[in-house]
Structure 1
Amino acid sequence: MTTRREEVLKALHARLLLIPGGVTILRNAVLPERIPEAGLVILRDGTPGSPDTTLSPLRYHWQHRVEIEVFLRAGDLDDRFDALTAAIGRVLITHRSLGGICDWIEADAPEPADLPIDGAGTIRAAVLIVTLHYTTTDPLI
């Protein structure tokens, strides 16, 4: 049986797979040696943190922070980065409940950084923090 935490993470990954443009979407993967031409997005499971609880019935209310790493190389990095982060935003706001298994999804604004690579072009990278609000009946379920 899959835990609610894993259900939410799988549903978020499935939403990210809907990003158009041939961007490679991975989950918890090692950063490859080469960034694909269309870009790379890696979902990191992050941490659920400490839940708020309610009693009768007992419920755990999580604000699970995940990271979405974004990598682009070559071309007009400003426009491509803007387009990719906007596409991520659109797939998140279209279904903020991930089909009813999550109460709410909210993302923080990206903070991009340019990474110069010797003998190659610059890579634009950013970590998007996304908070997943969901409830469970047990911390391990």
Structure 2
Amino acid sequence: MPSTRETILAALHARLSALPATALRGEVLPERVPAAGLLILRDGGPGEPEVTLSPLHYHYQHRAEIEAVVQGANRDTGFDTLCAGVGAALAADRTLGGLCDWVEAEAPQPVDLPVDGAASLKAAVIPVILHYSVPDPLG
């Protein structure tokens, strides 16, 4: 049985997979970026929990990251569309079907990355904070 953390990350990946862009989890950047863009979910880490003792619960603010990448002539518009799609997907259900207490994204810091012999990439990391509580830090 998967842990709460894994279940939440899988649900986040499924939510990203519903977007037109290709959504991967924990993969390396492929040689080609699809025309609709690319999203790579990085699991990140849960950080130090706050603990309540009665009943015992660990309250996490897990910081995952989504790498958003576009390439092509209209990369500024494509990047904006990709980020807006991620925002809309998260806003549609801030609890990922009741799996966590709240999901929120932070603003991306886009950069242009030159590529030898090809159109440059526009990319950013979108931090996503997953708020959830568990009775066991390994569960």
TM-score (norm 2): 0.97
Whichever residue aligns with residue 24 of structure 1, its letter is T
Instruction: Find the aligned partners of 1:75 and 1:39 in 2 and give their Cα distance.
Output: 13
Identity of paired residues, percent?
Answer: 56
User: Does the CA contact (< 8 Å) of 2:111 and 2:124 recur in 1?
Assistant: yes
Coordinate RMSD, CA, aligned: 0.8
Matches within 5 A, 1:90-129: 90-129=88-127
Q: What is the aligned residue count? A: 139
Q: Which has the higher strand share?
A: 2
Instruction: State whether structure 2 residue 34 is matched by structure 1 residue 36.
Output: yes
Aligned-pair CA distance for 1:33: 1.5
User: Does the CA contact (< 8 Å) of 2:36 and 2:78 recur in 1?
Assistant: no
Segments ≥4 residues shifted beyond 2 Å: none
Q: Counterpart of 1:6?
A: 6
Aligned-pair CA distance for 1:140: 0.4
User: Does the CA contact (< 8 Å) of 2:110 and 2:125 recur in 1?
Assistant: yes
**Structure 1 unmatched ranges of 5 or more:** none
Instruction: Find the aligned partners of 1:122 and 1:32 in 2 and give their Cα distance.
Output: 14
TM-score (norm 1): 0.96
Whichever residue aligns with residue 42 of structure 1, its letter is I
Aligned-pair CA distance for 1:68: 0.1
